[in-house]
Amino acid sequence: MVILGAGPAGLVLGNLLRDRGIDCVILERAERAHVQTRARAGFLAAATVRTLEAHGLAEGLRRGGRTHSTCEFRTEDGRFRLDYSGLGRGERHTVYPQQSLVTDLLTRFLARGGRIDFATEAIAVQDADGDRPSVTVREADGRPGRWHARYVAGCDGRYGAARRSLPPGSVRRYHCDHDVTWLGLLAEAPPSLDAVGYAVHGRGFAGHMARTSDVTRYYLQYERGTAADAWSEERIWDELELRMRAARYGPLRRGRIVRRAVVDLESDVLEPLRHGALFLVGDAAGLISPAAAKGANLAVLEASILAQALADDLRHDDRAGLDAYSARCLAYIWRAQEFSHWMIRLLHGPSGADPAAPFHESLRRSRLGSLRTSRSRQDWFAEHYVGV
């Protein structure tokens, strides 16, 4: 088995295959240090934690993870909180920085004899419809190379070799640009709320997500096309305080902003997810906006489904799981996409250029009001917010 990409999808898949005695190699285009320091989402769903625990991959998570179950909405109509651990299925998130999880998974994979070739760029997957697919690569020293395997897992993201290698006309792409842009920020500052904060404001959305006791992630809705470094730190903090209504609910705890990134909120799904011996996993299968924190959780779920299906085929000559892989994963992906789309519409006002903007703005306020007062809506929210 050749696995493209050493993110959560590739590393979970590699570890689960090693547990089942299936030989595999992971090819990663970045250096190891970069892989272990990429700051990404940190909210793990209960099902994700159960999967990691069941396979002995949660030791670091148990030491350093923090359970979390509260979100706070701040709007022009006031603020309200939801303790979602008492709603829906009664589940919580575990906050654990993705770079820490990746480091844990990577360390365990290598300690158990797994092989990862870093700084190795996959160029193309070839002969996926045959019995002996191959992956052409550019090795770390710049020389060309080729890997052969029974199966290839494309865990290398939206722009990776797996997607590029799909035959023309073999896949249907579903894409949505939500016309919303965020400035993602990582600040060396203690959390200012003991909850995930969602602030809806006339000037745009602002979000607060704790990562550790001294690091907090913030988001600001941002004008598309504006460079990440266009605003000074003082302007950023002032804007966060304005949108989060700090004058009314208490000041934010400021600190040095150590990372910035502009994120255009998009959704992107491919169908099917299997092409002969090539399987798409994680962001290669479907890109989801960060509004609902589903990306890493979907990646772990898909990797676990594929690992079991591969084990059934390679050890028991049972191909039913591989044949069902695409349809099974797409059902989860579309459910997550639906909730993500609902969250985007909940948190962001319509464009002022839209002649129907007043109508859509009133709908958004009604949705927030329903979430504040309706137990059935709160149960629905909790089930989809934590679930995958």
- Strand pairing class (134-138; 144-148): antiparallel
- Rounded to whole angstroms, how far apart are CA atoms 375 and 95? 26
- Rounded to whole angstroms, how far apart are CA atoms 197 and 37? 25
> So what's the pLDDT on residue 292?
81
Q: Is 218 a catalytic residue?
A: no
Helix-helix angle 375-386:320-347, to 10 degrees: 130
* 31 CB-near residues (< 8 Å, 6+ apart): 118, 119
Q: Which of 93, 208, 294, 384 is catalytic?
A: 294
- Rounded to whole angstroms, how far apart are CA atoms 82 and 73? 8
Q: Which of 84, 151, 198, 332 is catalytic?
A: 198
Going residue by residue through the chain, which has 388 residues, state the pLDDT in tens, using 9 for 90 and above. 999 999 999 999 999 999 999 999 999 999 999 999 887 768 999 999 999 999 999 999 999 999 999 999 999 999 999 999 999 999 999 999 889 999 999 999 999 999 999 999 999 999 999 888 999 999 999 999 999 999 999 999 999 999 999 999 999 999 999 999 999 999 999 999 999 999 999 999 999 998 888 999 999 999 999 999 999 999 999 999 999 999 999 999 999 999 999 999 999 999 999 999 999 999 999 999 888 889 999 999 999 999 999 999 999 999 999 999 999 999 999 999 999 999 999 999 887 678 888 998 999 999 999 999 999 999 999 999 998 7
Q: Is the dihedral of CA 247, 252, 258, 259 positive or negative?
A: negative
> So what's the pLDDT on residue 348?
94
Q: Which residue, among 289, 294, 287, 299, has the nearest Cα to 341 in the 3D structure?
A: 289
Q: Is 198 a catalytic residue?
A: yes
For 231-266, write each residue's pLDDT tens digit. 999 999 999 999 999 999 999 999 999 999 999 999
- Rounded to whole angstroms, how far apart are CA atoms 118 and 299? 20
Start-to-end CA distance of the chain, whole Å, equals: 26
- Rounded to whole angstroms, how far apart are CA atoms 79 and 198? 10
Tokens standing for 269?
Answer: 């799904």
State the burial class of residue 16 (Cβ atoms within 10 Å of its Cβ: 0-12, 13-18, 19+): buried
Q: Is 385 a catalytic residue?
A: yes
Site of tokens 């992971």: 26
Cβ burial 184-205 (10 Å sphere, 16+ → b, else e): bbbbebebbbebbbbbbbeebb
> So what's the pLDDT on residue 355?
87
Q: Which of 290, 325, 341, 348 is catalytic?
A: 290
> So what's the pLDDT on residue 291?
82
> So what's the pLDDT on residue 189?
96
Domains of the chain by range and CATH?
A: 2-71+87-175+266-343 (3.50.50.60)
Helices (H), 317-356: 320-347
> So what's the pLDDT on residue 352?
66
User: Which amino acid is residue 69, in one-letter code?
Assistant: S
Q: Is 159 a catalytic residue?
A: no
Q: Is 175 a catalytic residue?
A: no
- Rounded to whole angstroms, how far apart are CA atoms 107 and 153? 20
> So what's the pLDDT on residue 212?
83
Q: Which of 8, 68, 96, 219 is catalytic?
A: 68
Helix then strand then coil, % of the chain, to nearest 5: 40, 25, 35
